[in-house]
Chains A and B, each alone.
Chain A
Amino acid sequence: MAIKNQELPTETTQLATFFVGDLFFGINVMQVQEIIRYQEMTPVPLSSSIVEGLINLRGQIITAIDLRKRLRLSQGNGEQKPMNVVVGVNEEVVSLLVDQIGDVVEVSQSQYEEAPDTLDPISRSVVSGVFKLDGSLLLLLDVEAAVKEEMFDSHLDKSHAHFQEALGGLASEALR
């Protein structure tokens, strides 16, 4: 990935980037503890479907969150094993399962914009803002919101339903 920032930024931040589906995400590098290959996981029965399992990271047991499921994306083709982006959040360590790892990108404040209101509710719940890069948009992931326990399933279902409803409304209006 060769996404470079051409401008001379005044205040820059380094973001570690990755792909989930066709979405291009970034997290502050300081939040990333490490990036590891796919690990064998122990599934947790009765847990939210977003929890993919537990990983043994050098003796520490960490929860792996499937970002695809979190974002309600269709499941990957299974050919490529997801990667673990291990992040520290709220004094806990969590692994985010992503499709592909990107470069570390330097972004400046001038490229930043709040998450647009038209973004679908699920994405908006985890995206805190957008960086306008040359040729692509980099979504700043709100890690805390992405791994927040109460955001799971029931709420998602609700917001998803809302979303569907809204879509349906729009569609019927358009038809009219």
Chain B
Amino acid sequence: MSNEQDEIIQEFLIEAFESLDQLDQDFVALESNPTDTDILNKIFRAIHTIKGTCGFLGLQTLEAVAHIGESLLDELRSGRISVTPDIATALLEMVDAIRAILTKIETTGAEGQDSFGPLRGRLQALKDGEALSDELGGEACTNSQVEHDPKEGQREECSIETSVDELSENVDESSSAPANGEGGSSEQPSEDTANHDLIAEILASPDFQQEEPVAEQEMMGAVMEASSSAEEIPPSAELPQEEVSSSASADAAEDKESAPQAARASVTESSLRVDVGLLDKVMNLVGELVLARNQILQFTKNETDTALLGTCQRLNLITSELQEGVMKTRMQPIANVWNKFPRVVRDVARSCGKDIRVEMEGKDTELDKTILEAIKDPLTHIVRNSADHGIESPEMREKAGKNRQGLLQLRAFHEGGHVIIEIADDGAGLNIERIRTKAVEKGIYSHEKASRLSEAEVQRLIFHPGFSTAEKVTNVSGRGVGMDVVRSNIEKIGGSVEIQSQEGAGTTLKIKIPLTLAIVPALIISCQEQRFAIPQVSLIELLRVEHGSGNSGLEEIRGALFYRLRGNLLPLVDLRRELGMKQEDIQEEERRTALNIVVVRAENKDFGLIVESVHDTEEIVVKPLGRQVKNIPVFAGATIMGDGKVALILDILGLGREAGIVHEGRETQDGFDEQEDGEETSEKQSLLLVRSGTTSQLGIPIGRVDRLEEFSREVVEYASGHEVVQYRDGILPLLNLPRFFGNEHFSTNTYSVVVCTVDGQQVGLIVESILDILEDSLDLHDAHARRGISGSAVVQGKVTDILDVATILQSEFEGSLESSISRGMEA
């Protein structure tokens, strides 16, 4: 038997023994409470799993025993038979039988001679004790068939030479494992593949000849079913190939003879389950040890005692190794999560009549257990989504000129201290127009705004709460909860999700997650002698802005600071002000010298943190904060520095929210979203540039502007407290923009008025002067958006606030617009 096979069997044994121990307890519990369906279900599932796995491993006797037990349990579960002591005894005997077979496998590597005929007979009799209709039998059969893995189907097909034409055709077609398909008709199956090894083994096994007819029939049934399922989902590319290579030379019969007869160390002894809580504790202690070591090393820096130095050196090494070792105990390959996906995809594909192949790359990529747990559900969701919505039906695929069979690729790899997981399908991709329409329907955007969104922005909409583009809700997905949860779950563990989609060509979701949560690399910065840690995950770059020359790139709009970073406006946040450490602005001292800016990113928005000084990057151990300070949004935790002092870890997302740069929920989508790097989609827009009081320069979208007028001061009248003028046989309410923006002293003899129409009402905006009309591509930043301003952009080399006419009027007139006008009309 190949090593690979060996390993799988070992794993199976550990698992099976564990579930058997549990089963004993469950059965006893069931006997005292025979109607408890929860326990029944639990037992059923356990037996089901054992049966499924041993079917996969080719353990025929075990499978037969488990199968009949499972059928009986199914009857019990459906309530057609109720639990009697007889049944309970028989089932317990079945558990014993399974245990006996497992022990045999563990010691000898084979199932042994006993086929447990009498027991099986008894179980069958018990099951048939009540009415056994054909329908029920059929159902039980279906049940067993579902279990069969396509791979197994192939193997069996090969062995019994009931070569199903369709299957071999299909296998030939799929480039994944042509050898197997060929092997079916080959003269010497034992030479070819591991599958054949097994088959030969089964055939050679005396048990096989003695199998009861029932089992044989069942196997035939399984083959039929498996072949049809194999048609639907051909096996993943890896497994069969691995099997081919690993056992090409093995001779089945010989292998059987040489199966280790010598007593092997019990598998259950070589591995043990450890409480994760305990591991966490050990991990914490190691964290402490690392800190203590750092301190000792610092103290002994100037020592000359060689013995002491030697000891310190050893301590250093051992600590590092211990840290590594403990980290490793928590690491698990991503395959632990992925392994469930072929099945998930198969079920989804089957229920929607699709044909999907799953490919996996980088299965061995390891991740911290807590992270693995955290991404399990989001990943499952994404995979289901891809299978359900992403990949089209075979007919549609054919029409689109694609292979009938859809492809779902899972990739995992390391990249710069992160693990990247990609889920790519070659399906229809996101339908941009449909999402746009949906966004308008759901009231997330106005029609106008939706049509202005770039493709990338539209694609990102699928992460919006309550958004689902599925035309109809299937039982798998489309209920509109999901992708937003996916995103928030991943962000919770410090990760991020990106989506790339091309209509007609497929969708790729890229998830970026940290390796581990317990120890993270972080940049240490300080403000007013106090150190803070910024997790490397959110870090983009460091800037040092030397002042001196007039053109430093720093801009200020009404107290809000920006930095011109490669043509974009980067909103700046003064950390000290945000932390309430200092009230005055930074202008005075530092603007004269230099600014340290840490560019960080939260929810795809970049902003700059102004800090006093930047230190080193360090690996920090993240510790939770106490209840009294936990709810401060700008801190994610605390850590202990090398000198034993405590430093707070900044929560960049929380900080961004506090500073008003990152918005929560719907708000994010309402403003102009900042563009992703490299995906600049700034649109050309016509602007009327005006000057208005103290504000440097204002831009009014030209679409809003009807006319430009001038009124002398005398013609201005008042109606319900607002300035109005008689204009074209009506009354035009006026809004004094300089005053609106805080310049109370603005006065002039001739008013320049921009006449705008909002919701069918004309309104005049009084401005100081009209400057220009131009068309420019706007790169809007809404970071410092405030009342009446939808964002800022660089226009003709000057920072310009873009006026949001609608909200200004709303806030200024608050519904009085209509009434004042109608009243004016009456007058």
Contacts and interface: CB of A to CB of B under 8 A. Distances in A.
Interface of A: 40-48, 50-51, 53-56, 58-63, 65, 90, 92-94, 147, 149, 152
A57 to B, nearest CB: 10
B580 interface: yes
Given A42-B530, A44-B635, A59-B288, A65 B628 contact: yes
Contacts of B579: 45-46
Given A59-B287, A61-B640, A42 B627 contact: no
Chain B interface SS verdict (over half): mixed
B576 to A, nearest CB: 9
A61 B630 CA distance: 12
A47 B632 CA distance: 7
A93 B645 CA distance: 18
B1 interface: no
A44 B640 contact: no
B611 interface: no
A104 to B, nearest CB: 26
B638 interface: yes
Given A44-B635, A54-B625, A56-B645, 17 more contacts: A41-B646, A42-B530, A45-B581, A46-B580, A47-B628, A48-B628, A50-B628, A53-B646, A55-B646, A56-B644, A59-B291, A61-B640, A61-B646, A90-B627, A93-B626, A94-B628, A147-B628
A50 B628 CA distance: 9
Nearest to B638: A61
A40 B645 CA distance: 8
Interface string B627-644: 111111011001010001
B640 A92 contact: no
Contact of A45 (B580, B623, B646): B580
B647 interface: yes
Contacts of B623: 60-61
B628 A51 contact: yes
Interface string B265-296: 00000000000000000001001100100000
A156 to B, nearest CB: 13
B734 interface: no
B626 A94 contact: yes
A62 B580 CA distance: 22
A62 B628 contact: no
Interface string B399-428: 000000000000000000000000000000
Given A45-B581, A46-B634, A152 B628 contact: yes
A56 B291 CA distance: 12
B595 interface: no
A149 B630 CA distance: 9
The 4 closest A-B pairs by CB, nearest first: A63-B626, A45-B579, A59-B288, A42-B646
B610 to A, nearest CB: 15
Most buried by A among B284, B628, B632: B628
A56 to B, nearest CB: 5
A131 B288 CA distance: 42
A58 B647 contact: no
A56 B581 CA distance: 22
Contact of A149 (B291, B628, B635, B644): B628
Most buried by B among A47, A92, A152: A47
Given A58-B288, A59-B291, A61-B640, A42 B645 contact: yes
B73 interface: no
Interface string B686-727: 000000000000000000000000000000000000000000
A149 B645 contact: no
B198 interface: no
Contact of A43 (B530, B625, B628, B634): B530
Question: Most chain-A CB neighbours within 10 Å: which of B627, B631, B646, B647?
Answer: B646
A114 B530 CA distance: 44
A56 B640 contact: yes
B805 interface: no
B287, B627, B632, B644 — which one has the most chain A CB atoms within 10 A of its CB? B627
22 contacts: A41-B646, A42-B530, A42-B645, A42-B647, A42-B648, A45-B634, A46-B632, A47-B628, A51-B629, A54-B646, A55-B646, A56-B646, A59-B284, A59-B287, A61-B623, A61-B646, A63-B627, A63-B628, A90-B627, A93-B626, A94-B626, A149-B630
B640 A62 contact: no
Given A45-B580, A59-B291, A149 B648 contact: no
Nearest to A95: B626
Contacts of B624: 61
Given A44-B632, A59-B287, A149-B627, A54 B580 contact: no
A74 B750 CA distance: 61
Nearest to B527: A45
A55 B628 CA distance: 14
Contacts of A53: 646
A59 B284 CA distance: 9
A14 B625 CA distance: 31
A142 to B, nearest CB: 16
Most buried by B among A54, A62, A92: A54
B631 A149 contact: yes
A92 B632 CA distance: 18
A146 to B, nearest CB: 11
B255 to A, nearest CB: 54
A55 B645 CA distance: 8
A94 B629 CA distance: 11
A59 B288 CA distance: 6
A60 B284 CA distance: 9
Contacts of B625: 54, 61, 63
A59 B580 contact: no
Contacts of A94: 626, 628
Interface in B577-623: 579-581, 623
A149 B625 CA distance: 12
B210 to A, nearest CB: 61
A130 to B, nearest CB: 26
Nearest to A147: B628
Contacts of A61: 623-626, 638, 640, 646
A116 B627 CA distance: 30
